[in-house]
Structures are given as structure tokens and as C-alpha cells.
A and B are shown apart, each in its own frame.
Chain A
């Protein structure tokens, strides 16, 4: 069978190192998943990639869907036919699929169906840090949350079983510190479930108001299940006045904080592996003796609110409890309560502060001797990679808008080109919201000429985003004749999340060929004027954009060039500065290549006072060579990279 990754080893009992995302995939294999779909989004993008590589060997179906709603609908269909199905997305994707999910929860499911959602507290690779637990509660479905890779695997299996038992989808909520964490995981048996998919003529999955009551009953059943699941645990002394209620990786942060303080005999830690619905009896048992309850959770005070409501409900049985969390401000990171990630230090500070308040001592000021004055270190702003076609595209856009001079502006959305909001894209983006929103907003701006508005409007969007969410906006633009230019930044891949294929690439998730659905054919089908250019040909591209800015109605320009990280894997021309031709600061170009064009591979040799190229990181696009006023940059013939 060749190289089989550790995630797929059929060796029950063996301990292997797995990332959280690998552990989720492993859990799906151990649960006998038959159908898995996703639209890539960090921090969960790798899960379907891992499953895609194994789909043939293990004979299950995988699909990169064009968006999360379609992905969830496909997985639901597999469930209706009796198969176990998984759909994977990030929190933003759940918003896209949410209309379907709230309906699905009333209609119910058949085969086990798990919705794995990756939240990103601190927004390491997101624009926002949405807390999707609220959406699970709103949809009336159970929400499980693992604390580490071992639990990621176990929670996946448990979620499938619970879903099949309830005939309801189960949400598995994970955070970056589980998805992108790694740990030793004990493997269990791989399971293959041979079920013949079948929808009986008598079976119906209909969303209707009368099933609201059914959904409530199922949630009550889930709560009863939660009383006995090992995913909910408690560690600490039998009866304790200090109770830390945690979930996910916060459990480990809490335990380490307690160990570092030496408070093991004083503080009990309760971990919720099922965060919704609450296991009420389990919680009550521990809340009964508690005088101080502290919450460690990410990001919003979700469990804090739910537990407070529970305590209010059973007020007579409870003693007087002081609550410490985001509402009281005690559990807060540097950004403030309810903002950003948790870590062991935040929990430790919270515990110390509560203790000090109890002792009546003044809260000591946090004072830390800085070892090396980190404030003085230059930060690393996000930048387009060396050779990124988007840098060239934004440079051409900037030039064309300046030439036009009517105050034209650029609307963006989600993808690598989001960085166009910063200096690497010359701060061109003036709006940035959801997938496809640049084009949608342009539909609005594009109707304002009747009120005397005459600024040119440009929306940018990526190729993968085009299939995901831009098409409806473009149909709207054509239908209502909105005045704007849509620039599709086509780098022929889903770059931001790690180069997943999409309908325009001619490949499916497993690597098998698919008929390409070309961007230009879709645009042509709408009979919208269409132009295609190579962003590396900067002058030509700028001229086309300028011309298109002068026109009315919807227009589309495809700027097509393969992502530099992919291109450099096969062909990488050597690019270097000829020191004889570079005039250095005497040139008058103001260090154009490194300071103005701002490609990280264009650096400055302070000793020689001349430009130089960092050949380790240069991807060989050669755009700087075409822009250098002295023509001092040389591009050698492309060499094949082994």
C-alpha cells in the first residue's frame, strides 16, 4: 500500500503523535465515516485534506464543496440515506451554512452526522474570533468540545454515536489550540460500516414548526446522555469551595495554573466535554459546595451565562456563589475580558487576584522585568509572499486609480488578497467583510450614480471565492446593471488555506481529474464584458484597468497567474541585482524595489548602499525587474527545480 501516514495505521493500542486535525480525521475513520465534505478554512482546513489522501484506501467519499452550505447539505443527504457523514468548516463557514442547519435540526437526521467547526480565538488565521457555541445552542443541537488531540479522536467517535442515537446532527466545536496542537494519541480499531444507502418511501425529513418540540425533546435526551459521558470530568478534592469550570484546552491551562500555584488541594477543576446542553446533575453536584466559581473558556462567556442561569434555576439548592469570569472581569487576557485566547498565565493571574481580594489585600500591580525590551523589536506585519501575483495586481490597480483621479476605491473580501488592506497591498482595500462581500457591496455602490456619485468602484475577489459566493452577486450586478469593475485575482488555487483544489483547477479532493469550470465561461454566460490579463505584465494590466474604469455597467477583469508558492516548486528563475547598474540612494528611486514595491525578497545591503535580492526567499517572479527605473535587476532563464 506504500507510504501510509500514522493517522491511518491499523494498530489498535499503538500510541502515535497526531495533530488535533489528524486526530479528528482518525476519529472519523474509527467511527466508520462514509461521506465527508468541507470548504477549506483555518484552523480545520487540514481535516479533509487528510481524509482525501485516505479516501481511496478506505473506500469512502470526500468532496471539497464550493461552499459550506452545499457541503452541509451533501453530508445531510448521506445521513438521510443512512450513512455516517462529516462536514468540516471554520466558524465563518457555519454562518454560511446556518440557514440550512437551523432547518436540519427540526427535520432530523438518520445516519450519524457530525459538524466539525473550527473556532479561532485570537484570530490567528481569521478576521474575527466568532464563538460558534452560541450557534449550536440556537440551532437546538448538542455541542461537544475536546481538550486535546486524544479527546479530539474520542469526541468525534462519541459525536457520531450520539447523533445516530438522537437522529440529530451533533456539532463538534474545536479551537485552534486543539486543531493545531499535537499530542500522543492511543489508536483504537478502524471501523468500516457497510451500509447500503437507502431512503425509504416512508421516510421524510421536513422542517416544520411542529418539529420544534421534537428538537427540544432531543436536546433533553442529549443532556441526559451528557450526565454519563467521560468527556465531562472533574479533578480535584471531593468537596471544594473553589470550582474552576473549564472546557477545551482551558482545562489544561487551568490545571497547570493550579499546579504552578500549588493549590491542588484548594481548587477543583470541572471540564465540560459537552458544552451544550449542560449536564445539570453533574454540574449541580459540584456547584452545591462551591463558594467561588471561576470560568475558563474561549471566547465569550457562553458557559458562564448558562451556568449562572442553571444556578438561578435551582437557587434553593445552592449556597451563595461568587462568580468570577468575563462578566466580573477577573478572567481576562491582555486585550480584556471576553477578548482573545486563554493561556495558563491568564488563569493563574485570575486565581491570584481572587485570592488577594478575599484576603483584603490590595491587588499588586503586574510588573515584570523585561529581559530584552520586546517593545523595541520590529513587528512582523503580514505581507504577500515574495513573487505573489496579488502584489503586482494591487500595484497595477493603484496606478490605474491614481491615473483616473476620480477617487476610485477597492472593495475586498476573504482570501490572501485580504492583506491588500495593509501596506503590502498599498492599503487599497477600503472594505473587507465576508466571502464575496466585495462584489455584493459593489452592487450597492454601483447604483449610486443616480444620486450624483461618480467615483469608480472596483471589487476584488479570489478564484475560489468566486465559486463560493461571488456568482450570486455578479448575477445581481448584471440583472440590476450595477456600475463596477470586478477584478478576479485568479491564482488558480485556494491559496490562503493551503492550496486546495476548486472547480476551476480541474482536480477533485482526491486528486482525480474533473472537467474545469472556467471563470471566463461563467462570466461569458452572463454576457458581462470580460478581459483577462497577466498581473506580472504590470504596464499592460494597469492600462486595461484604467480603460475599464471609464466604462459603465458591470465589467470583469481576470488577473490570472499561479500562486508563487506553487509556481516556485517547479520553475524558479534566478533574479539578482546587477551592482554595476544599481545606483543605490543616488538613483532617486527612493529604494523603489524594497521600500516602495515592498517585496520581502527585495532587501537593502546597508554596507554597499545598494539593492540586493534575498535568493533564499525570492520566488523568481521578476516583477521588480520590470519596475526598476534603472533596469538593474536581472532575471535569468527559468531553471527546473528538482
Chain B
């Protein structure tokens, strides 16, 4: 059984445990499992224990620090945390500790979070392998990426909550592969000030947690307008937890079919069929939806990421190209050399894709769209391709094709664990909603989480000893 953010916070508030005890346990398990999972690039025992003692003092004095009061949290190593370096999984970053928190970090701390350390990211937040991190369900497999360390840390029970970023699926991919919940909010919901960019118009920040409620608690704290990031929407932080028990009766849910969601592994297809059947039995109306424009997802996504990432990393590319992975280097170089017209074309295509999704929502009167988060379970660490119906496809493209539609459109999307394949590897259900309707994700996700029974499952590599 997984420890949730709410349970941990309640236990701290009631005196059943202390933040210090939980933080010590997190730090101990992070260290103990590091050889197997490499989920962390750095931990901060001194800072974390000081913050934990502050939380415990607040409890003793009857002060409420917020929904994350005293909860150990891990942060992807592209987000600035004062006192720790930001390295982005790249050898090209050699600076020391940063002096200022990202807005997101500051808000987490204000909400009571205890930051225990920073998690492994795929190099430059641009990939799905997150080497050297491993998947707690099978340590010879990838945890996904680029927020792979965050997914692994939550799945292994080291922390109940971690922060990730998502440019083409980098929260939802590790969430699905590691069997945790990952929430990519609407573009503009969460400030990116103090976070290393990959692609300005596609980057999103959000939580990965052991439960839907954990993601909701975190987003309530993280969200809101930030003068330091002009892309943030002028909206108050959402109230999410009060919708979490409303069920799905009366909702209209679109089930996405054909490419880019097809082809998928048979086990993914089976789990998706079971998921939609259960939601239908709970009173939701299921509607098959095809959006042909989404077949162009990868062309549009990579036509935007290349130029934006190339522009951002140009000096790094000029100075030490030999320290950048050849595949990422090729993307950055292409972004600098290809005609600007190709970037404009990709932006236009994004507009067409966004409007097509909107038409599907409005035309079918949908409350949400459903799809498999990914067409396949976790690849092996040295695996380059996945095979669908005898056709090989690069691992990265396989994973990104189902998640990137909601980066291109900016719509909120969540991955919720839905089941295991025959090898015991997790499969995720992706739920996408209308702009700024994260409460719909929480409502459906919470209901589905209770239906799926996945909360009872624990991976073999776990802080508490793992599955029997």
C-alpha cells in the first residue's frame, strides 16, 4: 500500500509521526536504493532536516504551513533550489550551488514541503531514458524521462511527491512507466521562472505522486500567476481536492482511437479496454473519438523543440559539443540550421492540431479525452526500438507520439496507473481535459484510481522492501 501525501500530512498534524521521522526515512531510503535506482543526483540532509524541524515546530505551535506540511519532496534537477547546483543531467553544467529558489521551489516550501534533494533527469531534459536511473519495477529497464528520477523516487516509496517537467511527455512518460500518477497542468498554470528551459512554448512543470490526491495537493500549492514568468495565466490557483470524490457518473469521455495512439502493445490494448469498460460501468458515457490531425504530432513537436532548444543552448553547443549526446546535438544543430519557415510551419500545424482537439471536445460535448499514456511498457536500458505489429519504431518516438498532442495544445493531461503487463510492468491511462480544467483530471483520475486497484501494488525495488 502506498503512503499518500494526505496520509503523511495527517499523520504529522495528529502527532502520529513527525516530519523529521519521515524525512529521515526518505533520506535513508534514497541512499539505500541509490545503487539500484540512481534516482537522485544530490540529496540535502542538512537542509531537509532543518526544514522538517521547522515543520514539527509549527505543528507544536498549532501553525498550519499548508497542504504539504512536513512532506518530503524531491525536485527534478532542472529546477533551482537554493543551496544546491542545477546540472540538468548534462556535463556542460559545471556551476556551483545556486543562490535563489525557482518560484516553484519557493511555493513548495511555503506550502510546507521539505525538499530532500534533486532527481536524475535525462540530459538537458531532452529524452526518455534518464540514464543512469532505473525503473523500480525492473531495474534493467528505463524509468522513462526526462523526469525519470522523479518517477523512480515516487514509485520506490522514497518520497510521496516529486516535481518534473514535460515538453513532450516528460512527466507522463515516467509516471506511466513507473506506475505513479503524473500531472501536466495547462500551459501557463505553473511558473517556470528559475527552471532551465528546453522549449519555451512547450515546457510545462507539474507533480508526480503516489496518488491523484498527491498531485492535486501539489498543484494547488504550485499554481498561480507569477510576475517573473509572463507566460503564467492570470488565474488563481485551482481548488482540486473537493472534486476528488464526485465520481464519473454523467460524464462524457472520449476514447481516442487510431494514430498516433495506434499501434500499441496488446497488453496496453487490453488494459485500456478494461479501463474504459470500468469507467462506463461507473456511469460515464464513452464516445469513440478520432482526430486525424494528431497523426502529425511528431512532425510538429520536433519542428518546434529543435529551434527553441537550439536557440537556448547555442552557446553550450558552440563551446562543448563533445559533451552533448550526439542525438540531442543533432536536434540542437537542426534547430539552428534549418530554415525559419520550418519552425513557422510547425507552429501553424500546432494551431491546426489544437483546434482539432477543441472541435472534438465541443463537437462530442466531452468532459475529457482518454488514451493509453504510452503504447508500450518500459524498454530495456540498451533498447533502441520497440516493435509494433512487426514494425520497429525508435523508443523515444513511440513514447512521445501519444503524449505530445497535449504539449502542442497546452491542455492539461494526467497519467494514472491502470494495470500491469504480463512481465509486471506498469501501464498508464492518460486523461486530458479542457484548458485549466485540472479539476476534471483529478475527479476522473481519483475515481479510476479506486477502480483499478493499483494502489495496492508495490514494485520489487521499494523503500519498504518491495513486492513479495
B is a partner of A:
no
